[in-house]
Amino acid sequence: MEVIIKNDATTLSAYAARLIRELIRRKPDATLGLATGGTPLLLYRELIRLHREEGLDFSFVSTFNLDEYLGLAPDHPASYHQYMRENFFNHVNVPPANIHIPSGQIQGDEIPEYCRRYEEEIQRAGGIDLQILGIGSDGHIGFNEPSSALTSRTRIKTLSPRTRQDNAPFFAGPGEVPHHVITMGVGTIMEAHHIVLLAFGEKKARAVAETVEGPISALCPSTILQMHPNATLLIDEPAAGKLQRSEYYRWVFDHKPGWQRVL
Ligand code: PGA
């Protein structure tokens, strides 16, 4: 696990964008795993800039989003379909046929088969080369809430009261946040070749400290990233505030061999 601590979210988002740019240069038909929420907004803005100003070409790229609220139509203002169009897809050239976001409109007993097919499509695309993640204040990744099986696959989950509260600002009122979602599983996420987790703000400090320094536990699903061979954690100062060994992580980063540097 590589822990990179920098002052601000803009620098870290630019770093994540450069990792994606290098991947696409190396592998034009790369498969990206994408996240939503407040955290990756600056990353999407930077990728759009790289597309416009440097010609970063997404025309062979495929994307798979982590999750979607069940019960929301794709044009609902708080749906992740809408979020992705507004914040990324409307501004770059990913072919619509290559975009995959779990449907929020699958119902009842259709859900398991739908989730199985989502997994199959990831496999058909060759697996995820680089997965962007945020982290919940409760340590969720995707919408894998505390007590999620650490080997879980894409499936329906029930949101915790805390996540519903965290996400209420995106809805007309707290009661409007759906209770159920479809999310890639922890096991699905762990199969990505490279995982890049972004965490900004003091509200994430506890979850970040557990992820990096706590025991691996389903009660904080992000802790499983300690088992991933290629995970990069991009953390701003407030989110790094509860790490015991932050000086050590900075020291390691400062002594990184030149040939490994993207930042
Ligand atoms: P946020 O959500 O980016 O809106 O903080 C992160 C998450 O829930 O994974």
pLDDT at position 173: 87
Task: Tell me how far apart the alpha carbons of residues 17 and 15 are, in angstroms, rounded to a whole number.
Answer: 5
Ligand 1 centroid – CA 204 distance (Å): 9
Task: Dump pLDDT digits (tens) for 52-64.
Answer: 999 999 999 999 9
Q: What is the mean pLDDT of residues 14-38?
A: 97
Task: Dump pLDDT digits (tens) for 91-108.
Answer: 999 999 999 999 999 999
Share of the chain above pLDDT 90, in %: 96
Of the residues 46, 67, 68, 119, only one is catalytic, namely: 67
Q: What is the DSSP string of 14-46?
A: HHHHHHHHHHHHH-TT-EEEE--SSTTHHHHHH
263 confidence band (pLDDT: 50, 70, 90): low
Burial class (CB in 10 A: 0-12, 13-18, 19+), 97: exposed
Q: Which of 30-44, 88-102, 110-124, 165-179 has the lowest mean pLDDT?
A: 165-179
Assess whether 81 carries a catalytic annotation: no
Assess whether 51 carries a catalytic annotation: no
Share of the chain above pLDDT 70, in %: 100
Q: Which of 67, 132, 166 to mutate to test the pocket of ligand 1 (most atoms within 8 A of CB)?
A: 166
Q: What is the mean pLDDT of residues 187-197?
A: 98
31-34: strand order across its sheet: 2-6, 231-236, 194-199, 130-133, 31-34, 62-65, 99-100
Atom of ligand 1 nearest to the CA of 35: 9
Task: Tell me how far apart the alpha carbons of residues 242 and 47 are, in angstroms, rounded to a whole number.
Answer: 30
Of the residues 46, 129, 145, 191, only one is catalytic, namely: 145
Q: Give, as one character, the DSSP assignment of residue 220.
A: B
Atom of ligand 1 nearest to the CA of 140: 9
Please write down the HEC assignment for all residues of 55-89. Answer: CCCCCCCEEEECEEECCCCCCCCCCHHHHHHHHCH
Query: Is residue 67 within 8 Å of 143, Cβ to Cβ?
Result: yes
